[in-house]
Amino acid sequence: MPDEPDADAGRFAYEGLDRVLHEKARLGILTALIARAGGLSFGDLARLCDLTDGNLSRHLDVLAEAALVKITKGYEGRRPLTTVALTATGRKRFREYLAQLEQVLRDAAAQESGASAKQAKPGLAGT
């Protein structure tokens, strides 16, 4: 009936897909940092994520502004060293983001199994 609200309205909006995290380069940065509690040097992070220094710097600014990463500038001997690490907030939001992606996968699997079940019903083939 047209007057009934759609029960599935917004079902696939996935509000948990945080736009700050969802961008490809930032997702790569967070993925590189999640298993490294001590963080990574700027150079290692740029190499691992295949980003130029300028591009990495821009994305780190966004992540730092959102309090997801902490950027520490110091020295190793006489050489400048910039280290990037996830904050507690960054770890939490990244885990929440991954949980939302897992929901996307569950929904996709449910849709596929529903479609497979419809195709496998006897009497439907050749009708």
Task: Please give the torsion angle defined by the CA atoms of residues 98, 23, 60 and 93, in that order, rounded to the nearest 10 degrees.
Answer: -20
Its CATH class, for the domain covering 19-114, is mainly alpha
Which tokens hold the place of 119? 């195709």
Domain boundaries of the chain, sorted by first residue: 19-114
- Which has more confidence, 10 or 4? 10
Assign 5 a pLDDT band (cuts: 50, 70, 90): low
Q: pLDDT tens digit string along 29-47?
A: 999 999 999 999 999 999 9
Note the pTM of the prediction, 2 decimals.
0.76
CA distance 81 to 75: 5
Residue 38: count of CB within 10 angstroms of its CB: 7
Residue whose structure tokens are 């710097």:
57
Instruction: Give the integer Cα–Cα distance in Å for 76 and 101.
Output: 38
pLDDT tens per residue, range 60-74: 999 999 999 999 999
